[in-house]
Every structure is written in structure tokens, then in C-alpha cells.
Amino acid sequence: MPKSCAALIATLVLTRFLIAQSQSQQPAPSPRSFAAQPQTSQAQQANFAPQLLEELGAIKSAALTDDYAYHQLQHLTENIGPRLSGSPQAEAAVNYVAAELKQLGLDVELEKVTVPHWVRGAETADLVEYPGQAQGANQKVVLTALGGSTSTPADGLTAEVVVVNNFEELKSLGREKISGKIVLFNEVFDKQKAAAGLSFISYGEAVRYRGAGPKAAADLGAAAALVRSVGNADYRLPHTGFSAPAGIPAAAVTAEDAMLVADLAAQGKVRMHLTLTPQKLPDVTSYNVIADLKGSEHPEQIVVVSGHLDSWDLGTGAIDDGAGVVVAMEAAEILQKLQLRPKRTLRVIAWMDEESGSAGSEAYTKNHTNDFPRHVAAIESDSGAAHPLGFSVRMSAPAAELLRPVTNVLESFGATALQPSPYPPGADIASMSENGVPALGLEQDGRTYFDYHHSAADTLDKVVPAELRENAAAMAVMAYALTNMRDPLPR
Ligand SMILES: [Zn+2]
């Protein structure tokens, strides 16, 4: 992002220089400032009247001094806690967010969603045989069950560990060498990419093994499957997450322990005693919280702002994704506080079940597909709470270009990106995006996101209040622009 931003500034400066030169025989003055007056097209000017630009500035200023989002996040994470699908805390969070949005004066609806109810149990592992083992000694391995994992016997199972680096290696070993074994997928999370600002690429590469590895191992008769944690930190933390139902116990070991097991297995036979006792309970009825601030001129046209309310159970779901929910809530809070009535309907959605199968967004799609042509745009924030860089957008190029005056408003804190995305920029808005709704993902500096993501360290202290305020400002300004620009965003 910084690179493309610098390139853009350089291009702007060069363009101004060339225009100045072509218009005058005088030697052109060298550009004095990078804060070039943004140039606006006719379509931009027509859509963003001076009054609207003034209101966007006021929304930004209000959000940058508003602690509403942080206080809501504090309640969600500290008073309510982890909000795994189907848990009592998820239910409490639904009721809490619905009541808060009602108190803001919004029309609140609870949309029924059937969610899985999986409960973590004991999770321990020891290496009970390995080369060079001291007599009577075992080595502890730190791990955590993946969502949906089945249980080992209550007193655990013991089996040889087979380490593979990729799916090809697994396949080449075949059923004969995999059957009855514990398979460890040792795909390494690329920290250098993450440090360079490309952490979601590192995540995408490694998460394939968490998602599909256990099933692939089960298909070859494995007794259990382990994956190296998809995470970026060095504090021996296991990172849980969704894994396709495999019918065998499945867990994430820490990066440190994956390396330990791989090193020992390269020397000789390694056997592990593994105990995982999670339970799959009957499905539970839960809800998406949907809250409308009705539009004054086009109530039937809808702009969605959203985050997902459910979280993993190890931490308290502060960055994933309590932060997304509370900045969406604040978009409505700011408008009410400033008494700014949206022309189109602003719809706040707190999604349920993003982490455990996306039943929430499926239910919304099922119930609202016919309204998608009147969904002007959908925004989701689900990449943390760090300093916002702008938006990744999946929409036509003219539509994205039309939003430049909005990011000009956000330029004071650097959230200027309108980065075209080939993929839907948010899991819960993916189906809207696939159905033609212009989609935006609030994009944060993700360099440290995967240090904490899906681990016990996803807690409130990781959220910097000033950065959360910037996120709330970016969300509220973009949302109000979309509700109040003259024309609905073109498709
Ligand atoms: Zn998330």
C-alpha cells in the first residue's frame, strides 16, 4: 500500500508539473507540497455537493474523538467474552448488540440462523518416543483443537507421527504409510511477506492446510491430523480455526512444536500420545443482528456496514472481529449524534457464525437475494483494528473512481487506499459481492494481525484506542458517502 500510494503521489506531482509547463512559457515552479489539491471529475463533483463534503468532514472529526466503539468493544470482550457460535456468550452478545442499536433509535430485527454448537474439551499431547529420548522422559507438545474436531478416546490415543510439508507428499506416501498414524502438516507461515505488509497472502498460503489437511489425512486412514499453526508470532501460541469436517481428531500445534516434531521425525521414529475431547452438541438457534437507520429519500436502497459478532473461544475476539462490529455500530451512533439523516437506509449487520461455517451470511442471502439489486453497497471490517489504510473494493472501475472524494476526506490519517480486489473483500459480504453488490472491505495495517488471530492473545489490549477511532471514522465517512451521494453507486 505505501508503495502504490507513493507512486500515486509521484504521478500526481508529475502530472501537475507537466500541465503547468504546457500552460506557460515561464519556468514551472517546482512542486512545493505533496498535499496537492485533489482533482475531481464532473461525476465526482455532481455526487459530492459541498454540503455533503462538509458533513463527511464533520463525521470524521466526531469519530476521531468518540469512544463509543471502544466502550462497546470493552463490553463485548470483557463483560461478555469469547463468542463462539452456539455458546451462551454468543447469545448474550446478540441480545446486547440488538439492545444497544435499539437504544440508538434503529429498527432492529433478529434474523434466525441455525449454528453448530461445538465445545472445546481437554487438549494435551506428549511425545512418548523419539530419538535420543532420556529414560522415563516425555516431551510436551502445545496444541489446540481445530473447530469441529472430533474427540479421541477420553484417555487419548498413541500413534506414530508422520510429518509432511504439503499435499503432494501426503499423497505420495499413500494409505499404506498414513493409515493409523498422526499426520502433521508442517506448512510454514511466511513471516517475511507479513512483515512487508502482505500478511493475508501468507495466511492464504498456509491456511489451506488447516482447512483441507485433516480431511485429506482422514481420507488416507489417518488416526488424527495436526497442522502447524497459521500465525506469525514466536510465543509458542497455538492458533485454532475452521477445518473442513474430517471425522478424525484435528488440532493446531504451535510453530515451535511443529519444528520440534519435524526435526525429531527426520532423525527417527516419533510417537505421540494425543488427547482431544471436544464435543459436538445439537445445533442451536442464533441470530444475525440487523439494524436499520431508515433512509429519508430512498429507504428501499440499502448500504450495509458490518462485522461478525461470533469469535473463536481461546481469546475474547477483540480484533477478530469485535472491532468490526463496533465500528459498524459507531457509524450509526455518529449519524444520530450529529443528527445527520441518511438519504438511503444505513443497515448495520452483526453477523453470526462467520468462523464456524458462515450460516449467518447464508441465511441473509437466502432471505434477501431479491433485495440485492437495491443493496447499493456492502462494507465489512474483518481484518483487525490496527491503523486503517483504506478500503479494498470489488466493484466496477468507474464506481471505485467515484469514491475518491471520500478517501480524500480520510487522507488526514492516511486511509486513502481504494485497492481493487479480485475476491470479495469480506467473508460475510462475499455472496452479496458475487451477486453484483459493490463490496468494500475496511483494510488495516495487517503486519501484526496474525500474531494474535484465532489465539488466546486476541484480547482487548491489542486494540489501540486511537487506531480504533480511525477505523470508526473511515467506516462512518464511507457509509454516509454511500447513503448520501447523489446517485446510487453504479454497478
Ligand atoms: Zn474474522
pLDDT in tens, 239-263: 999 999 999 999 999 999 999 999 9
pLDDT of residue 428: 98
* Banded pLDDT at 40 (limits 50, 70, 90): confident
pLDDT of residue 346: 99
> For residue 31, how far is its CA from the centre of ligand 1 (angstroms)?
43
Task: Write out pLDDT tens, residues 398-428.
Answer: 999 999 999 999 999 999 999 999 999 999 9
C-alpha cell at 158: 498413541
pLDDT of residue 419: 96
Neighbours of 434 (CB within 10 A): 13
- Higher-pLDDT residue of 117 and 27 is 117
pLDDT at 16 over 50: no
CA distances from 112 to 5, 35, 290, 362, 366 (A): 43, 49, 11, 11, 11
Percent of the chain with pLDDT over 70: 92
Residue position matching grid coordinates 506531482: 13
Distance separating alpha carbons of residues 191 and 179, to the nearest angstrom: 33
pLDDT at 482 over 90: yes
Distance separating alpha carbons of residues 44 and 49, to the nearest angstrom: 9
CA distances from 391 to 197, 394, 410, 417, 430 (A): 15, 10, 11, 6, 15
Distance separating alpha carbons of residues 486 and 377, to the nearest angstrom: 14
**Which of 8-22, 227-241, 390-404 has the lowest average pLDDT?**
8-22
pLDDT at 20 over 90: no
- Biggest CA–CA distance in the chain, Å, is 89
Is-contact 432 439, C-beta < 8 A? yes
Task: Write out pLDDT tens, residues 160-184.
Answer: 999 999 999 999 999 999 999 999 9
pLDDT of residue 249: 98
Report CA Rg, the chain.
25
Neighbours of 300 (CB within 10 A): 10
Say whether pTM exceeds 0.85: yes
> For residue 473, how far is its CA from the centre of ligand 1 (angstroms)?
20
pLDDT of residue 107: 98
Task: Write out pLDDT tens, residues 139-157.
Answer: 999 999 999 999 999 999 9
Known catalytic membership, residue 354: yes
> Given 330, 354, 380, 470, which residue is catalytic?
354
> For residue 7, how far is its CA from the centre of ligand 1 (angstroms)?
31
> For residue 282, how far is its CA from the centre of ligand 1 (angstroms)?
24
CA distances from 36 to 11, 12, 39, 139 (A): 11, 8, 9, 61
Distance separating alpha carbons of residues 305 and 290, to the nearest angstrom: 10
Task: Give the pairing type, strands 139-141 and 224-228.
Answer: unpaired
> For residue 320, how far is its CA from the centre of ligand 1 (angstroms)?
5
> For residue 326, how far is its CA from the centre of ligand 1 (angstroms)?
13
> For residue 92, how far is its CA from the centre of ligand 1 (angstroms)?
19
Amino acid symbol at 454: H
> For residue 160, how far is its CA from the centre of ligand 1 (angstroms)?
34
* Banded pLDDT at 19 (limits 50, 70, 90): very low
Task: Write out pLDDT tens, residues 252-300.
Answer: 999 999 999 999 999 999 999 999 999 999 999 999 999 999 999 999 9
C-alpha cell at 35: 498535499
* Banded pLDDT at 22 (limits 50, 70, 90): very low
